[in-house]
Structure 1
Amino acid sequence: MDMLIGCRLATVTRLAWHWPGDPVDLTTGPVHLVVDDGRGLLFDGRSDWSLTIVPTAPGDESWRSAYDFDGGRWAGRDASGEEPFASVIAGVLSGWDPERDEAGQRVGGTLHVGDRAVRLGLWEGEVISYAAGRG
């Protein structure tokens, strides 16, 4: 996370699980943040209900292959215009306050962007996001 401090948030991609014939659940799923130089971070829930953060390189879309499953699929969308991200797009990343559970596993955190903050956490092992107020 520290490598992106001082960069401007450029885009946010959100993934949502979609079973054929069912509506897409837009409230949970992995979040991919990309800054102005193309580097990014993928936030995802693990099977042990901890939060993983994976750096991505400019132009590298290989991280998407982990979300290609038979029988269902992850539907990706540009979430840059959706809250809580719309109010922080183009803002400068200024900090990350991780949240850990009693076992020391990362289970969420607060991303500070300019004078605002976005909370990334887990609900039943899936990433959720919401505005956390002022940074």
Structure 2
Amino acid sequence: MAVIKANSEDVRLLARLMRAEAEGEGELGMLMVGNVGVNRILGNCLDFRDIRTMNQMVFQSPGGFEAPQKGYFYQRARDSDIRLARRVVNGERTWPASNALWFFRPEGECPGTWYNQQNTGRFKAHCFFSPTFENCPSVF
């Protein structure tokens, strides 16, 4: 059962985002990017107040993802990417992105915090950061 409202266009949009942000990180990395996106829609907190739709989440500016600024993002979603996006929309969570609202790729080690948000872990090149339950209970 879906944890956010998403039609087939929304799922394809999320699939394109996941691929563009983390294809080099494999399926798990792509699932984690999807977790961050879904959490931003669920959260309605911090930098993501009033982000209620897939379109708002993907194209949020400022403060959104880098992928929509790159041509690669605009390629058609593959079936395998769509299947991964559906898994995330249906509530599959992958640690360390389970409750994360942010991620980035540092040059070296992951910092303990990023903009006052706690590091929840690293997967390959990306570090993930989650809010506290008090700041954003909807993602927990």
Q: TM above 0.5, one fold?
A: no
Does 1 or 2 have the higher relative contact order (CA < 8 Å, sep 6+)?
Answer: 2
TM-score, scaled relative to structure 2? 0.32
Structure number with the higher strand fraction is 1
Structure number with the higher helix fraction is 2
Pair member with larger Rg:
1
TM-score, scaled relative to structure 1? 0.33
